[in-house]
Structure 1
Amino acid sequence: MIMYAAFGLLTAAIAAEVAATAALPRAEGFRNPMWSGLVIGGYALSIWLLALVVEDLPVSTAYAVWSGVGTAAIAVVGVLWLGESLDAVKVAALSMIVLGVVLLNLQGAH
């Protein structure tokens, strides 16, 4: 697989994971079958795509990007659509996550 294709799959894996995580509140502790199915399906799709990605990218880099970008993205989703608050500590913590992902990718590029 071409490197660009791997990053495309990684982006899709992140999107599936973020969508599944955003759906968690609606799953109502897995008592709502439709939303629960979307959560489980989203996580399953995300892990399957991540498994494909690590065939071509180092697992440490792929997982760091998947988890770091996913964490930052769900924090943004939480603030914009789920009514969560945003403060300086949260912004600083998310900035450190993104910086860590960037540094890992730069290190892997050498």
Structure 2
Amino acid sequence: MAYFYLVLAVMAETVGTSALQASKQFTRPLPSALVVIGYATAFWFLSLVLRTIPVGVAYAIWSGLGILFIALIGWLVFRQPLDLPAVIGMTMILAGILVIQLFSGATPH
């Protein structure tokens, strides 16, 4: 169940961060409300995750996946460019998440 909550936390954080871009520095009410709701939801689910998964591992996975999803949304929705070094760096982040999941004894299996 912890990984399900972690996925929900990442999704909520992704919505909140995407809405932050759309809020235009909190000048647009609906995206601004989504920022607050998204981040509050993300931290609530993350708190549930921490019952089972160590904070360092949970945060590494949460932030790493958040980086990947936000970069993808930035590229697709906001037309923000991603150059080769950015793609390589994000690929390395994904590889790090996979190493943690597949080989670390700090994660529940």
Q: Report if TM-score (shorter chain) is over 0.5.
A: yes
Q: Deviations over 1:4-59 (max 9, x none)?
A: x1100100100000111111122111121221111011001001100010001111
Q: Out of 60, 78, 82, which is 1:82 matched to?
A: 78
Question: CA-atom RMSD, angstroms?
Answer: 1.4
Taking structure 2 as the reference length, the TM-score comes to 0.90
Residue of structure 1 in register with 2:5 after alignment: 9
Residue of structure 2 in register with 1:94 after alignment: 90
- Could you list the runs of 4 or more consecutive aligned residues of structure 1 that deviate by over 2 angstroms after TM superposition? none
Aligned residue identity for 1:14: V
Work out the CA distance in 1 between the residues paired with 2:25 and 2:75: 21
Deviation at 1:100, TM superposition (A): 1.4
Deviation at 1:61, TM superposition (A): 1.1
Aligned residue identity for 2:21: P
Task: For structure 1, list consecutive stretches of 5 or more residues without a partner in the other structure.
Answer: none
Taking structure 1 as the reference length, the TM-score comes to 0.89
Structure with the bigger percentage of helix: 1
Please say which of residues 45-54 and 75-84 is displaced more in the overlay: 75-84
Residue of structure 2 in register with 1:31 after alignment: 27
User: Percent identical across equivalent pairs?
Assistant: 38
Task: For structure 2, list consecutive stretches of 5 or more residues without a partner in the other structure.
Answer: none
Structure 2 residue 74 is the aligned partner of structure 1 residue 72? no
Aligned residue identity for 2:84: A
Work out the CA distance in 2 between the residues paired with 1:51 and 1:101: 20
